[in-house]
Amino acid sequence: MENNIDIDKKIDELIAELTLEEKIKLCSGASMWTTEEIKRLNIPAIVMSDGPHGLRYVVEINEFGATSNKKTTCFPTASALASSWNKELLYQVGETLAEEAKSLGVNIILGPGVNIKRSPLGGRNFEYFSEDPILTADLASCFVKGVQDQGVGTSLKHYVCNNQEYKRFSVNVEVAERALREIYLLAFERVVKEAEPWTVMAAYNRVNGTPATQNDYLLNQILRAEWGYQGLVISDWGAIHDRAAALKSGLDLEMPGPSRVNKEKIQMQLDKKELKEEILNQSVKRVLKTVFKSSPERITVDYDQHDKIAQTAAEESVVLLKNENKLLPLDFNNMSSITVIGEMAVNPRYQGNGSSKVTPYILADGLSEIKNSIPPAVELNYASGYNNDQNLESQIDEAIKKAVKSDYVIIFAGIPEKFESEGFDRKNINLPERQNKLIKAVAEVNKNLIVVLNNGSAVNISDWIDKVPAVLEGWLPGQAGAKAIVNVIKGKVNPSGKLAETFPLSLAHNPSYLNFPGVNEEVNYAEGIYVGYRYYEKKKIEPQFPFGHGLSYTEFEYTNLILDKEVWAEDEVEVEFDLKNVGKLAGKEVIQLYVSQNNPYYDRPEKELKKFKKVSLKPGESETIKFKLSYRDFAYFNPELKDWVVEEDEYKIIIASSVQDIRLSAAIKIKSKEIAHILSTDDPVLDWLAEPLGKKVLAEILSAEQMDYLENEENTYITERPLYRLDFLSDELVSQQEIEKIVLNYNMLRGDYYSNK
Ligand code: BGC
């Protein structure tokens, strides 16, 4: 393989040789999935394929638009994978996907999707990881590294604020800078910096008035200049509004192609000198760099082996939501009968619908897996219970009849595909009414009931949760999901998944409730930074199941938290504690570290996830866990200063098993440089006094007597007024020149502070 210098040289030479027409050609696709090939200069095409949880390698599209795909491995979708909280697993899934890509000659996998789950209604939530940006980013980074370490590229999508399907091609997202940075951009920022995805895919929607595909602020200023992104920016399929504006804003490659009209538009702008050829050259260079990175190596893959990896991934992702009286695991050798209910037991709901839908190599179902797991002496009954979202009274009667005489009952329930898909949002977060009815009716006749859920995002099960002793959230677990679920049921696998999103008690409790999906082509992210658990915690709204929740068949004990008492913000904070498996079974615990600031100047969430780790321990085994925290783990995005700021304050380090299940916590003082907020003559004198630098400047210019007067609490009727009023109140308390000098000095010193940072 050529080194970077050779490649850069080769690219410079090619730029000199390419005609203008060829350059324009290279900046848009040649087909649905490929870029242009320039034969005369030996520039090959790149092949792309969806992602993210399996390769959708399209072989044929028929006259009705239906596709037929190559059979590939269908892994659990992102909401399931996120519930594993397992970074190594994400790397392995990425690596496995890359092998399949290589076997099919695919150079770039179109994923992962790191958009934040703003509302549980989002139609593509199953394709996204979490409501939390750190969990999303750290898992996605491992996925990207797993793929790219094999010489296959990824596309980090959809940049940014693509959090709903309603009007997804046109909606304008109004989002404040702080929420944009702390919630929506953060996942992209971390993955870009840590894993350097080969490509970033710009979203369909607009952000603060400008399409994401021609958003200079997002692409040129933030992604490239601030974060140092060197890779290729591609458009989501058909997301370009104004091609020339997109090029100028940093969007290199339009997909799919060819687009004759857009090529002409680029040519016209070049002719009119409204677009510089240098801008086009930059994009061509990035396209070529990606082309030459792509390995043409073809390998063969072992799909049976990949099925096993898909099964492990699903086993790591299943979340045990409830397990009253330790009903689970079931001992199949120690029962005489079991009834399985639900169409999804034979016709599993295992992946989402839309561009990510793959044709699985093989597909397991719950009923067959249970049949294969029980001894011949155990009587196994099956009742369909419902079909899709419908059921007949006779189906419920049949289910009851079978359930009543069985030792145990397992119902497979979930959200049918027609309610949850790319292209539209969910209307509510309920299970189909008929399934609720069925579950309640069966719960009446058999107390040993286990409900398995298959859905891509949070569901509301408050209708029957009190009546059902055991509930497993299986998500959309991929082709081997049923094997994983049955392994958890029979205790071959100890569940270790934890929720990557809050399950609210009511949709109305969700922070986006009043602003989802918006009106008149506009959605206002009015909840700001209070997304997911950040909101439920702050408002003290009890969820059905909190973020990070998930039970195990064993128990863990947390002890001995060791932490510095005081450090500077620029220093690293080392956190250490012991974790012990105090139960009788081997198991895995997902440790969560949250940070909380005691007295923030700007409002902050009660807790923010900063670190996590999945640890595997045998019974009686313990391990010392260490985390390192740095500046950004304590910082918030200060919208005034337009920077990440750590305020000097006391912070709490919280070690938890879910956002509500705090096991250890300790305080730490973080010392930091003073932050001087922006102040003008319009700000109240009180604000000037409250700001240490402001007070210092006032004291330098005003007399001691004047300062005493202003600081006297009895004079707040004066000091509540803006600084500019001081020149004519109380017999010219302060002169106009002095006021100007105060502001001038303050801004000078503030600038010094800032440039010294
Ligand atoms: C989706 C992308 C996908 C692309 C190609 C678009 O409609 O939003 O996620 O990668 O199609 O299938």
Which pLDDT tens digit goes with each residue over 607-616?
A: 999 999 999 9
Compute how many other C-beta atoms are within 10 angstroms of the C-beta atom of residue 18: 20
352: left (phi over 0), alpha (psi -120 to 50) or beta: beta
Q: Residue 617 and residue 623: Cα distance in Å, rounded? A: 8
Q: Residue 248 and residue 243: Cα distance in Å, rounded? A: 9
Ligand 1 atom 3: residue of nearest CA? 355
Percentage of the residues of the chain whose pLDDT score is greater than 90: 90
- Residue 355 Cβ inside 6 Å of ligand 1? The answer reads yes
Q: Give the mean model confidence (pLDDT) for residues 717-721.
A: 91
Residue 756 banded pLDDT, cuts 50, 70, 90: very low
pLDDT at 730 over 60: no
pLDDT at 628 over 70: yes
pTM over 0.75: yes
Compute how many other C-beta atoms are within 10 angstroms of the C-beta atom of residue 28: 25
pLDDT at 61 over 80: no
pLDDT in tens, 337-385: 999 999 999 999 999 999 999 999 999 999 999 999 999 999 999 999 9
- Residue 127 Cβ inside 6 Å of ligand 1? The answer reads no
pLDDT in tens, 374-420: 999 999 999 999 987 677 789 999 999 999 999 999 999 999 999 99
- Residue 157 Cβ inside 6 Å of ligand 1? The answer reads yes
Ligand 1 atom 8: residue of nearest CA? 236
289 CA from centroid of ligand 1 (Å): 23
Ligand 1 atom nearest 127 alpha carbon = 9
What domains sit in the chain, N to C, each tagged with a CATH number?
Answer: 4-293 (3.20.20.300), 303-539 (3.40.50.1700), 556-670 (2.60.40.10), 685-755 (no CATH)
8 A C-beta contact, residue 269 and residue 244: yes
pLDDT at 64 over 70: no
- Residue 369 Cβ inside 6 Å of ligand 1? The answer reads no
8 A C-beta contact, residue 565 and residue 669: yes
pLDDT for the residue 677: 85
pLDDT for the residue 392: 77
Ligand 1 atom nearest 256 alpha carbon = 5
499: left (phi over 0), alpha (psi -120 to 50) or beta: beta
Ligand 1 atom nearest 111 alpha carbon = 10
pLDDT at 731 over 70: no
355 CA from centroid of ligand 1 (Å): 6
pLDDT for the residue 757: 41
**What backbone phi and psi angles, to 5 degrees, belong to 706?**
-60, -40
Between residues 580 and 732, the one the model is more confident about: 580
Ligand 1 atom 4: residue of nearest CA? 237
Name residue 576's beta-bridge partners.
Answer: 562, 626
pLDDT in tens, 683-696: 999 999 999 899 99
Give the strand pairing for 522-524 and 556-563.
Answer: unpaired
Residue 278 banded pLDDT, cuts 50, 70, 90: very high
431 CA from centroid of ligand 1 (Å): 27
Q: Give the mean model confidence (pLDDT) for residues 183-205.
A: 98
pLDDT at 750 over 80: yes
Residue 113 banded pLDDT, cuts 50, 70, 90: very high
Ligand 1 atom 11: residue of nearest CA? 237
pLDDT for the residue 673: 84
pLDDT in tens, 652-710: 999 999 999 999 999 999 999 877 888 999 999 999 999 989 999 999 999 999 899 99
Of 355, 357, 421, which is best to mutate to test ligand 1, by the most ligand atoms within 8 angstroms of its C-beta? 355
Ligand 1 atom nearest 204 alpha carbon = 8
236 is annotated as an active-site residue: yes
Of 114, 156, 236, which is best to mutate to test ligand 1, by the most ligand atoms within 8 angstroms of its C-beta? 236
Query: And the tokens for 702?
Result: 């005003």
Q: Give the mean model confidence (pLDDT) for residues 514-534.
A: 97
207 CA from centroid of ligand 1 (Å): 19
pLDDT at 592 over 90: yes
236 CA from centroid of ligand 1 (Å): 6
50 CA from centroid of ligand 1 (Å): 7
Residue 60 banded pLDDT, cuts 50, 70, 90: confident
Of 167, 237, 254, 421, which is best to mutate to test ligand 1, by the most ligand atoms within 8 angstroms of its C-beta? 237
- Residue 110 Cβ inside 6 Å of ligand 1? The answer reads yes
Of 55, 67, 110, which is best to mutate to test ligand 1, by the most ligand atoms within 8 angstroms of its C-beta? 110
pLDDT in tens, 157-184: 999 999 999 999 999 999 999 999 999 9
**With the C-alpha atoms ordered 117, 120, 123, 127, is the resulting torsion angle positive or negative?**
positive
pLDDT at 67 over 80: no
pLDDT at 753 over 60: no
Ligand 1 atom nearest 50 alpha carbon = 10
Residue 1 banded pLDDT, cuts 50, 70, 90: low
Ligand 1 atom 12: residue of nearest CA? 355
Write b or e for each residue in 595-609: b if 16 or more Cβ atoms lie within 10 A of its Cβ, otherwise e.
Answer: bbbeeeeeebbbbbb
Residue 24 banded pLDDT, cuts 50, 70, 90: very high
pLDDT for the residue 363: 98
Surface-to-core class of residue 60, CB atoms within 10 Å of its CB (0-12 exposed, 13-18 middle, 19+ buried): exposed
Ligand 1 atom 7: residue of nearest CA? 237
pLDDT for the residue 734: 83
Q: Give the mean model confidence (pLDDT) for residues 203-220.
A: 98
**With the C-alpha atoms ordered 323, 327, 332, 333, is the resulting torsion angle positive or negative?**
positive
Residue in 138, 236, 252, 633 annotated catalytic: 236
